[in-house]
Chain A
């Protein structure tokens, strides 16, 4: 059980960073049963039944450590950062910058200044599309994407292509939900400027061979932006091993709060990029007709940042580190293997995407001809199970499989087999209702 803040509620100390860092110790093997008590929402009821939360791909739930870290900030040392010379402002600044260091270490960035706080994965990708794209993408340039992108890694590039006259090409997806790497190789021969793809599909769960694809892109002189919204929360990830140029992810999918995301970039690229948004905090000097820019990372952080959210995300990283990302991945693989076996045993159920070994904890499926929205409503009211139904912000991928919508169950550190059993019971109930 984690209760990191007991006994140190309201005292300011000389070292904010030390005071507000939760103490976390999961030494050795943990199980999801051990940690469920850390997530207060998991003891909630819906429609008079215990909540069974199977929508962590959309947004994960939060442990007490995260909620408390934000709570303590607001209650005891809230102030604006990078401005005040008084105690609590210095504490707030220290806590936020400490969170940046934690996040940098979590993805093994060389320097914390390569970690830029944005408002979301979407915000991070748009930053690159506007700032780097504006300076580097010209008419006729090629940007390579894939058919399995979330709208957030598709629409910003469409906008950039419309502004610049650049071309977009797409790596197709096989029936099994894998990228057609043979087509990728052909596209690379056209010497794209940028390749942008998802590390892990939010619909199919497919984990793409990022390291290999990045090396191939670099071999032809292309840069790579990796949409890591689904991978950073669920897999061990090392930006230096990947040698990735830009990496985008969100706080709220990795046990952290909403409203904060991260852009990691290679330093020389970030240094060369013009600012994206102008305002306070991102400037060095301001005159009426011109200004000069602050250093990294603040050059890209105009305006008062999401301070509480950064601190909360730092606490989420501590929590995940305590669990160990290898074990997180292993747990989710166990859940996914179990769930796929259980679901496949239901007559009339179709699962989309690859085998458990090639996917993360995401399963998209359809059941007979029952519309996924009807399924989701029945699961909610009959069994308290929360799943996602719809196109999952990936309409082109849905069209690829000629689907209007799918149901999607997704897993995280707190998912237990009983959750999946409840899902299966609910699906059978839905079949019974629709068989009337």
Chain B
């Protein structure tokens, strides 16, 4: 099975959803992928028990940036409880193509930044990093 750069992945890469910053985010978090230099910063706005807005900025490969865009669509409007539950399977489902082992870190960068943000905001316990 080969990794496939489908049109919808490239569309998310070229026209990322929720790209940018929030003026008054509840929390900001960021991370880099030291192996390839991908960078990602994320702002979350939490109102009541919902994540009402999300923005991200970053640079990197199509996989990391498209995954961030797709993840942002999954997050917006969901309850905090639902967002906390988002995991690697959700990213892989959204990408919809096999991701080679060496590229998993690219695919999961935004997920890591999301959970880091939730942890900083005290909305989620810090989990031991897998890997």
Contact = CB atoms under 8 A, between A and B. Distances in A.
Contacts of B100: 377, 380
Nearest to B4: A381
A433 B10 contact: yes
21 contacts: A371-B36, A371-B60, A372-B36, A373-B36, A373-B63, A374-B5, A374-B62, A378-B5, A380-B100, A381-B3, A389-B36, A390-B35, A390-B36, A390-B37, A398-B37, A404-B37, A404-B38, A404-B39, A404-B59, A405-B37, A434-B62
Interface in B36-54: 36-39
A391 interface: yes
B3 A373 contact: no
Interface of A: 47, 370-374, 377-378, 380-382, 389-391, 398, 404-405, 433-434, 436
B85 interface: no
Contact of A381 (B2, B35, B39, B106): B2
Interface string B114-129: 0000000000000000
B88 interface: no
Contacts of B5: 374, 377-378, 433-434
Interface of B: 2-5, 7, 10, 35-39, 59-63, 100, 103, 106
Given A377-B103, A390-B36, A398-B37, A371 B61 contact: yes
Contacts of B106: 373
A372 B60 CA distance: 9
A370 B65 CA distance: 12
A381 B37 CA distance: 22
Nearest to A373: B61
A-B pairs with lowest CB-CB distance, top 10: A371-B61, A381-B2, A404-B37, A373-B61, A374-B62, A374-B61, A433-B5, A405-B37, A390-B36, A373-B36
A373 to B, nearest CB: 4
Given A405-B36, A433-B10, A436-B10, A373 B2 contact: no
Nearest to B98: A381
Contacts of A377: 3, 5, 63, 100, 103
A434 B4 CA distance: 12
A382 B3 CA distance: 9
A299 to B, nearest CB: 37
Contacts of B37: 390-391, 398, 404-405
Contact of A47 (B2, B10, B62, B63): B2
Nearest to B105: A373
- Most central of A47, A377, A436 by chain B CB within 10 Å: A377
B47 to A, nearest CB: 35
Contacts of A382: 2
A47 B1 CA distance: 8
A19 to B, nearest CB: 42
A436 B7 contact: yes
B36 to A, nearest CB: 5
A408 to B, nearest CB: 13
A371 B2 CA distance: 18
